[in-house]
Amino acid sequence: MIYQTTGIRSSTGETPYHGDHPIGGVIRPSPNGQTILLGVGDFYAQSDLTWSGTLGAQITDARWLANGTLTTLTTTGNQTVLRRLNGSNLAILEQRSYAGEALRVVGSDAAMVVVVVNNGTVQYYSYVPSDDSDGDGVQNTTDAFPLDAAASVDTDHDGHPDAWNAGKSQADSTTGLTLDNYPQDSGCWLVAHGSGGVCNPGASVPN
């Protein structure tokens, strides 16, 4: 182990998982130093480097916050996805998307900057952590549309809200939401998808 403040090495050791798990990418220790996250998405216990969990996917960068939450960056195609996770159960607390390939996430717990490369140019996006990203009074973890203040409930999880939030309408939607005419049935959402209030799932199936 190397003490970060002094550079003194007090002990040496290697993970017992030789060949069992890939090693690579960034190395991000937790604030208390007890957990180490690697770029391959795996967690290791600091004490003996035993494998302790996984994100299930590789990451480009990550940043632990003092409260134990974890911010990660991944890239799919030319889209960077930032996720802020609960440090204990890895539940998604917040998710944002940015155009470009992820490089780094830097800053403080109160405000960060997401650095990406987009069309050959380095770009910077401001990111302020929030448990209510759209400011509608509903926490991200229970808000079906955490980036759209016009709605927050989607009972059948088909991407169409059951109703508008109080004082909101379709004109307030920033992501083009339309109300669900069949909020209890994921196979239908338009009036034309059924008859007499009864859903016809076949009506929404592509030819």
Q: Where are the domains of the chain?
A: 131-207
Query: Are residues 100 and 123 in contact, defined by beta-carbon separation less than 8 angstroms?
Result: yes
8, pLDDT greater than 90: no
88, pLDDT greater than 90: no
Query: Are residues 145 and 152 in contact, defined by beta-carbon separation less than 8 angstroms?
Result: yes
Q: What pLDDT is stored for residue 62 in this prediction?
A: 97
Phi, psi of 54 (to 5 degrees): -150, 150
Residues 124 and 131: their CA atoms lie apart, in Å, by: 22
Half-sphere exposure (Cβ direction) of 192: Cα atoms closer than 13 Å: 3
Q: What pLDDT is stored for residue 41 in this prediction?
A: 94
Which pLDDT band holds residue 166 (cuts at 50, 70, 90)? Answer: very high
Q: What is the pLDDT of residues 193-204, one digit of tens each?
A: 999 889 998 888
Of 3-17, 41-55, 115-129, 169-183, give the lowest mean pLDDT range.
3-17
126, pLDDT greater than 60: yes
Q: What is the average per-residue pLDDT within 65-69? A: 93
Q: What pLDDT is stored for residue 113 in this prediction?
A: 98
Q: What is the average per-residue pLDDT within 109-138? A: 96
Is the entire prediction scored with pTM above 0.85? Answer: no
Picking from 89, 43, 83, 34, the residue whose alpha carbon sits closest to that of residue 63 is 83
Q: What is the pLDDT of residues 139-162, one digit of tens each?
A: 999 999 999 999 999 999 999 999
Q: What pLDDT is stored for residue 17 in this prediction?
A: 58
Q: Tell me the two tokens of residue 133.
A: 């990203």
Q: What pLDDT is stored for residue 14 in this prediction?
A: 62
Q: Which of 154-159's residues contact partners 24+ apart within 8 Å by CB, and which partners?
A: 154/180, 154/183, 155/183, 155/184, 156/180, 156/182, 156/183, 156/184, 156/185, 156/186, 157/186, 158/186, 158/187, 158/189, 159/189
